[in-house]
Structure 1
């Protein structure tokens, strides 16, 4: 029971830290960025380089005349310049972005804590297997384990199944190494 409480509490800590950091960053940047804006992209016009203008205006005022300040062209070229500009009204939800990032960081934090837990607990729960020895030469790779009966090969727990798959993988790697070394000997 205690480990269940500890695991759920440990997920809350990264979420709380992330929330505080994002909230502090939001307060600092609140003056610079808002959830609505009008963005006008103006291409080069005569001797004026292209530029992107952002301004917090209402959707009805989202046009070149209200957003582009200071106007880079003289009064008689304003209409021609504004026809080239493409203005778009954009909305976003800062709170949704914050919540999404907090959830993401919480999941990553929980996975990291789970990985640390497995790294610490695995040596304790993994039983020492007398048949699994490091293979020193090619002759040892022929026999990794003696044949087991069908009940034992089935594997009752997830850990046993994972260990069985790991042993099969190690055997395949050893067979591939032997094949490569045999081919190498034939070529040399």
Structure 2
């Protein structure tokens, strides 16, 4: 990878980190890494509600979380028995790091794809032995056999091109079979 592409990727990663930090800071006002979440169903004429508050695990119950208490003093115990309270923990730093790694990998793969799209025509040499596979019979008669010629496939690119040619040949054979069967059936 060239130095310019590496510096571009570093700049993109820095921008992503800044945006994520800004987004997390903006949402840090609403959410903490630890919280107690109480889900209270409807009770008599009071509609159900969800309460979130930052308290310790031992204080994670209806009496400490539900504020203001929607029921009068004598119904508090019955109301709190219906509520389901859970203590939740998460690591926002781990979430940020995971997202940054994911975005970096996707960005690196996109840069690599762009690099291959730009460099592939320069690397690929015109090979007189490869022809477009318009007609299977013509391409088989005109193309020399791989066993008869000199040893090919020394480089990775030549092996990939050979595999690509075999795949194209298989696709052409499948197309011919499907179209012949279609003609026979109709």
Q: When the two structures are superposed, what TM-score results if normalisation uses the length of structure 2? A: 0.89
Question: What residue in structure 2 maps to residue 124 of structure 1?
Answer: 122
Deviation at 1:154, TM superposition (A): 5.1
Corresponding position: 1:149 with 2:147:
yes
| CA shift digits 1:63-90 (9 cap, x unpaired) | 1011112222222111011111111111
Question: What residue in structure 1 maps to residue 53 of structure 2?
Answer: 55
Specify which of 72, 82, 85 is matched with residue 83 of structure 2: 85
Structure 1 runs, 4 residues or longer, greater than 6 Å off = none
Deviation at 1:117, TM superposition (A): 0.1
Question: What residue in structure 2 maps to residue 20 of structure 1?
Answer: 18
Q: When the two structures are superposed, what TM-score results if normalisation uses the length of structure 1? A: 0.88
Question: What residue in structure 1 maps to residue 72 of structure 2?
Answer: 74
Corresponding position: 1:36 with 2:34:
yes
Between 1:46-55 and 1:18-27, the stretch displaced more is: 46-55
Cα distance in 1 for partners of 2:56, 2:142 equals: 73
1:23–1:6 distance in 2 versus 1, CA, 3 Å: same
Deviation at 1:5, TM superposition (A): 3.4
Equivalent pair of 1:10/1:110 in contact (CA under 8 Å):
no
Specify which of 92, 99, 103 is matched with residue 105 of structure 1: 103
Q: How many residues align?
A: 186
| CA shift digits 1:100-150 (9 cap, x unpaired) | 111111111111000000000000101112232223345435446210237
Cα distance in 2 for partners of 1:14, 1:143 equals: 52
Cα distance in 2 for partners of 1:103, 1:16 equals: 12
